[in-house]
Amino acid sequence: MVESRINRKGDGGMKVVFLDRDGVINEFPGNGNYVTLLKEFHFIPGALEALRKLTEEEYSIFVISNQAGVGKGIYTQEKLNHITRTMLQKVKKAGGKIKKVFYCTHKSGVGCDCRKPEIGSVRRALGLMNKTIHAAKKAFFVGDTQVDILAGHNAGCKTIFVLSGREDRRHMRSWEVKPDFIAKDLLEATQIITQDVA
């Protein structure tokens, strides 16, 4: 979909990538399940390399993830924090850097603005860079579900659907909003992102 690519000239060199977590960075725990303990968190092969490459290419990386298991009382905020700290440490050790992690821990139906496909977390991430939501049109949103693609679309990002998580091409057939790109995993998505200079 080369024709959908946006010229980056004059954007001040802004490079931003928003990533879902489960199914993109780490292995998807299964429908209805959550990563509740550190021993259940396993990086998808190639994910650490992808994060290193994005960092080397000077992309600002944000994780935006729905983690309603906290709101449901399935696991605690402290356990989620522990998993996150360890994830960030391992990413850093591998040469990558995640700028900030945004979780929505609310249950669905609460009406918050942070639960994807709402874009409150995208707005907050851009705010850290003194950018408005209009800057999202120069960003990528990578996810493994329809909700992720909708969130990226709602924010105005270019979207990449990865096949390493919950949903696959069969699910995508019924989606009203289709992704701009499809990739096997985050490593392949990174190739798309870093080559998107036309």
Closest CA to 68 of 101, 110, 29: 110
- pLDDT of 108 reads 87
> Which CATH number does the domain 13-195 belong to among 3.50.50.60, 1.10.3720.10, 3.40.50.1000, 3.40.309.10?
3.40.50.1000
Give the model's pLDDT for residue 9.
36
Q: Edge-to-edge strand order for the sheet containing 181-183? A: 100-104, 60-66, 16-19, 140-143, 158-162, 181-183
Helix axes 146-155, 120-128, angle to 10 degrees: 50
Per-residue confidence (pLDDT) for residue 73, from 0 to 100? 95
Q: Are 153 and 177 in contact (CB under 8 A)?
A: yes
Q: Which residues, in sequence order, are CB contacts of 188 under 8 Å at separation 6+?
A: 162
At residue 197, the pLDDT reads: 53
Residue numbers in the chain where pLDDT is lower than 70: 1-13, 197-198
Give the pLDDT score at 13. Answer: 58
Q: Are 193 and 54 in contact (CB under 8 A)?
A: yes
> Hey, which residues are catalytic here?
20, 22
